[in-house]
Structure 1
Amino acid sequence: MNRKTFVVAMRPNSKLIKVAVTVLIAMTFALVSTSGTAYAAKKKKVKYGQIEISTNPGGFPLKIDGQAQGDTSQTVRVIELEPGHHNLEILLPGGGRWVRDFDIERGRKVCVNLNYHPKKFTVTTSPCPYPVNISAPVSVNDGDLITFTSDVAYSGSKPLNYTWTVSPAGARIVSGTGTATITVDSTGLGSQRVSATLVVDDGSGDAMCRQNAQASTTVVGRIPPPVECKSFDQFLSVAFDDDKARFDNLAITLQNSPDTTAYIIIYAGRSSRTGQADMLGRRSMDYLTTARGVDGQRIVIINGGYRDADFIEIWICPPGAKPPQPTPTVQPGDVQPARERTRPRKPRRPRSE
């Protein structure tokens, strides 16, 4: 009976086979639908992303979005975070901080591994600041060159830059620009102080490596040359015609120099007649004023005393000059004046033809 039934069931046209196939298809569809629904449900439950953190060495305080999250470790720590922007901060020794921002996506993982190596600092001694001194003379005369020399105690290896400025405005650097020593022309700066300012730097940009110094020198004003009379002429007075030629030259000079004054010093000879110097003086003045038209206010006649023979000195003096002084060579006690004529000379006899 059972065998027969089985044989019947295996017939191709059997209704039983059709029912079985139909049931099998339905069960398969149900299983597939159930599996897909379960997978979708499982996938829908993922709401967070993850961040994996490890450090070498471990033990550093960890903060996420400003909230403490314990310490890091050498093994990976997994922390779930809501999707979005997050801030990660790891506190390092000595006040150091390692800070990064991350964007966390749902169902994705961000991996962070930090290897910490302490910085090794080499302590170097800076050559800055350094002393700068300037040497200069205390004073110079107007027109002298002033030398300003700098002494810079810089122990660094960089080349130094020298920038000089001088004052007042009339001071001029004539040599040494850009070097440790300069020379400055003081012409026209009498009765003033010339100052030189130096700025030294090594080009590093460090304010401590930029030093400056200053020095000053007094410029003594030029003393104007003294106003003095000049010797114009000197001669023995033998014949008046010779004297007049000398006075002609004097008159021309006075005309060409209208601000000068002529001093005429007249010496009587050892054996000249009494009053000889005064007589020669009157004669000289009369010739210059009458014959040559010289203003008498510009002529000064001086009785110079005595010399061995009648002698005349002529001096030209500019305004403000100290008048010349007589230089007699014979003392009055040594003078032996010639005797005055007591009788008139006899007229000469006319020659007979």
Structure 2
Amino acid sequence: MKSFFVSTILVLTFCVGTFAQTNETSPCPTISVTGPEEITKPDEPMTFTAEVSKEAKKFKTEYKWTVTNGEIIEGQGTKVIKVLWKDMFGKSLLAEFEVIGLPKNCVSVASETAATVCPPSSKLVDEFSGPISQIDKARLDNLFVEIQNDPSAVAYIFERFERKTSQNVIERKIQKITDYLIKEKRIEKDRFVISTAISDENLTQYFIVPPGASPPEIEDNN
């Protein structure tokens, strides 16, 4: 009887030990994502990096990135990606990293948000009145410097003429400006835009418009 009792205890102990081993759950890994520390400018790629702790090695996993307001250009399926944001000025870019293959009770997603620059705007760099039959080369030289300082920007030249101004006078002045910028300053034709309008006074305005900015509009009071 005593021998039977001891055998029963051994069997129960073995069963309990086996049950505990088969129901032991592996700890879940920790997941985190870091992004760029500084605000990103247009056409500059952002880098996002994911960190997954060593517990994930116990599972057969895959990595997947999802990006909002941007485009992944490198690294999908790895822990590091490069992203270009889609000119969403003023909007944040969200990068989400998912570890596929973890147990259902584990957190499998981490994300990070990166800030982008505010939308650019056109800049008025000069405004003056002068003889309608002449061009101010010194001021055009200053405009040339502005264009050179920002190779991706476009200059907008607004010429407003009094109502009594003839069309021939207007056309001659526009031609003088065009010839001076192209022939003497060697500026490409697509780097500047000249617009005219009829107004109460003769007035010239120079604007610099960076990429992504809305160009200014000239009002015609004719």
> What TM-score, normalized by structure 1, do the two folds share?
0.34
Structure number with bigger Rg: 1
> What TM-score, normalized by structure 2, do the two folds share?
0.50
